[in-house]
Amino acid sequence: MQRTIRTFQIQNMKELKKNLLYWSNSFEVALWLDSNDYDQNYSSFDAVLAIEEFTAIQTDYENAFEKLKEFQTITQDYIFGYLSYDIKNDTENLSSNNFDGLHFDDLFFFQPQKILFLKGNTLEFQYLKIVDDEIEKDFETILTKTNTTASAPSEVNIKLRIHKDEYYQKVSKVLEHIHRGDIYEANFCQEFYAEDCKLDPVKAYLDLNEISEPPFATFFKKEHHFLASASPERYLKKEGSKIISQPIKGTAKRLVSVVDDQKIAADLYRDEKERAENIMIVDLVRNDLAKTAKKGSVTVEELCKVYSFKQVHQLISTVTSEIKQDVHPVDVIRDSFPMGSMTGAPKISAMKIIEKLEETKRGLYSGAIGYFTPKGDFDFNVVIRSILYNAENNYVSFSVGGAITSKSTPEKEYEECLLKAKAMKMVLTKKVSEPTY
């Protein structure tokens, strides 16, 4: 489908981004993706904003991948959206019966009427013909847009769905499964939540992004559902026939002293337990990508490389493949979903165990959000380090998890969860002036 393209030069990109976000909040559907100028391989643009659906698909998990495949094939345009963790139930004999306070659709994608790409100092409008007469007016509005939120955010009283002692017990049960040989790794997650909470979702995103500045930041709105995400992790990207996966496993906190910070990063790189977590998932990703790859094309480009973010150091590996001819883009996703970094290994056994032990339906958390291009390329992040909000029932949620292996201890896993939860907690309790290191 043809789009009208117009470009404008921008002097203050930071201010423009803020204006774009508040402008996007006036629409029923909006999705913002921002790389925060992070120095990363395989980046296509600095940021993109997609708004106002022309066509869309929303569904539960039943036949979700086939419905998405049909929608992507027919549309032949940019489509933006998400796959929740629970569409795992579409491809395997699995279920999601835990408590859900957020009520997101299992899958949602939309063809935007308006797309705005940020590249360097350029803002590029790509509008469908039916709305291309609005480009000039929209640009003028964006340049002057400010926060117009009517109601002030309420105080947030964060609660734990799983308390500390119960968390220890549940991790011990995971370890029993590992020692029995049922699995050798599981990503066990817990929810932090608040009820009767009025939140300014754009402000929450801006604060979270300022604290973390990750390469896969996301703001998403669909009517009364919101996501503010500071994800550091790419799930899967397609560039022509090349597939790129970049799983994260292995975490260490940042320190104030440069010397101490460099030492803890070096220690992370050498840490046997953290490397074992990462390598197990790399093996799983290699197996997932091999399902759609040309024989012998699956390659580990980076293994356990330390990447540093404002709050944490992470071990990230990069696995690539060349897909076979005539493989549909959606099939590449289906054959690797959910991502191994959020499940464990073997994947199906791990998902069954964590479903029994976790207390909350994951929903969009640990799913994926991103886009397809008109040529069938795609890029999706992993929905972690994220605040989810339902403005209809005033429910706020963020979840964190960690990989449990034979070398794990409940105490250390709990400490890692609290480290990962720190940024979201700071935003919601308005303690954004704390050092972020």
Catalytic residue, candidates 67, 249, 361, 420: 249
159-200 pLDDT, tens digit per residue, is: 999 999 999 999 999 999 999 999 999 999 999 999 999 999
pLDDT, position 154 = 67
CB count in 10 Å sphere of residue 294? 14
DSSP-derived 3-state class of residue 62: coil
Q: Where are the beta strands (DSSP E) in 171-215?
A: 185-194
When pLDDT is averaged across residues 74-100 and rounded to a whole number, the result is: 97
C-alpha closest to that of 312 among 175, 157, 417: 417
Q: Across all residues in the chain, what is the average pLDDT?
A: 94
Six-digit token pair at 43?
């980046």
pLDDT, position 153 = 61
22-43 pLDDT, tens digit per residue, is: 999 999 999 999 999 987 777 7
Position 435 pLDDT exceeds 70: no
Phi, psi of 360 (to 5 degrees): -130, 140
Judged on CB neighbours under 10 Å (0-12, 13-18, 19+), 98 is middle
First to last CA, the chain: 46
When pLDDT is averaged across residues 231-257 and rounded to a whole number, the result is: 95
C-alpha closest to that of 380 among 156, 84, 1, 8: 84
Confidence of residue 152 (pLDDT cuts 50, 70, 90): low
pLDDT, position 45 = 86
In the chain, where the domains are located? 3-428
pLDDT, position 156 = 86
Catalytic residue, candidates 52, 53, 213, 233: 233
Phi, psi of 249 (to 5 degrees): -155, 125
The answer to whether the CB of 369 falls within 8 A of the CB of 380 is yes
pLDDT, position 337 = 97
The DSSP secondary structure of 301-358, one letter per residue, reads EEEEEEEE-SSEEEEEEEEEEEBPTT--HHHHHHTTPSPGGGTEESHHHHHHHHHHH-
181-211 burial code (b ≥16 CB/10 A, e <16): eebbbbbbbbbbbbeebebbbbbbbbbbbeb
When pLDDT is averaged across residues 148-164 and rounded to a whole number, the result is: 78
Position 155 pLDDT exceeds 80: no
Is 238 a catalytic site residue? Answer: no
Is 134 a catalytic site residue? Answer: no
In CATH, what number does 3-428 get?
3.60.120.10
260-311 pLDDT, tens digit per residue, is: 999 999 999 999 999 999 999 999 999 999 999 999 999 999 999 999 998 8
370-391 pLDDT, tens digit per residue, is: 999 999 999 999 999 999 999 9
Q: Which residue has the higher pLDDT, 399 or 311?
A: 399
When pLDDT is averaged across residues 79-95 and rounded to a whole number, the result is: 97
